[in-house]
Amino acid sequence: MASSPSGKPVLYSYFRSSCSWRVRIALALKGITYDQVPVNLLKDGGQQLTAEFQVVNPMQQVPALKIDGITLSQSLAIIEYLEETRPNPRLLPQDQKKRAQVRMISDHIVSGIQPLQNLAILQRVGEKKLEWAQHYITNGFQALEQILKHTAGRYCVGDEVSMADLCLVPQVYNAERYKVDLAPYPTITRINKALLELEAFQVSHPTKQPDTPAELRA
């Protein structure tokens, strides 16, 4: 297994992948410096499908993180590992019930919305992909707005940034990209706006990555 010459963690990422963005936010919040290897999901038929990348991650998806001598995939598994090994600042509350709410909201986005509108599935859906993406994001946001009314303070769960917030912002970005009307979701909108004011959510933004195309760069 190749390791980075610097010994720093290595993140395999695509600028516009919401799953990659979640991990970029976590690394930024925890002040972890890392090297980034871009994996272009569209070019060359999809660089994630190469034999070379399959060695890195058999799931053939981004993100993947090489850290502490292992390679992890799945954004929430990566974030929970970072939380356990680099606990400050925390991304999961101490209170067990609030932790459960953070995981519940994260899982809702990560299992219940994003996979139903990611690049691979939209490629399979074909012509009706905009309608498909809008349907699943709308469904998911209707439920999420209800849940957040119960759990939210300044952020998704109470007043501290948590793993749920790392999932929310990239999903709102996708909603905007697929022209979903956000007027019915004032809590989601308010929280998203508050999070985007934080530096970690800005430096990790799709418009500011090493592989961001020139025409999309901020």
| Spatial separation of the C-alpha atoms in residues 60 and 53, rounded to whole Å | 7
For its own copies, which is the closer residue by CB, 70 or 214?
70
Residue of 1, 5, 7, 97 that binds its own copies (CB under 8 A): 97
Residue of 17, 18, 47, 74 that binds its own copies (CB under 8 A): 74
3-state secondary structure of 158: strand
For its own copies, which is the closer residue by CB, 29 or 157?
157
* Contact positions with its own copies (CB under 8 A) in 98-137: 99-101, 103-104, 106-108, 110-112, 114-116, 121
| Spatial separation of the C-alpha atoms in residues 35 and 200, rounded to whole Å | 16
Which residues is 70 bridged to in the sheet?
67
Buried b (16+ CB within 10 A) or exposed e, 8-18: ebbbbbbbbbb
**Residue 212 beta carbon to its own copies: minimum distance, rounded to whole angstroms:** 25
Q: Which strand ranges, in their side-by-side order, compose the sheet holding 10-13?
A: 35-38, 10-13, 64-67, 70-73
* Contact positions with its own copies (CB under 8 A) in 37-66: 54, 58-61
For its own copies, which is the closer residue by CB, 131 or 213?
131
Contact 43, 52 (CB under 8 A): no
Residue of 10, 23, 72, 137 that binds its own copies (CB under 8 A): 72
**Residue 188 beta carbon to its own copies: minimum distance, rounded to whole angstroms:** 13
Residue 214: count of CB within 10 angstroms of its CB: 5
The reply to whether 96 sits near its own copies by the rule CB under 8 A is yes
- Largest distance between two CA atoms of the chain: 49
Chain mean position to CA 57: 17
Q: Contact residues for its own copies (CB under 8 A)?
A: 54, 58-61, 68, 70, 72-78, 80-81, 84-85, 96-97, 99-101, 103-104, 106-108, 110-112, 114-116, 121, 143, 146-147
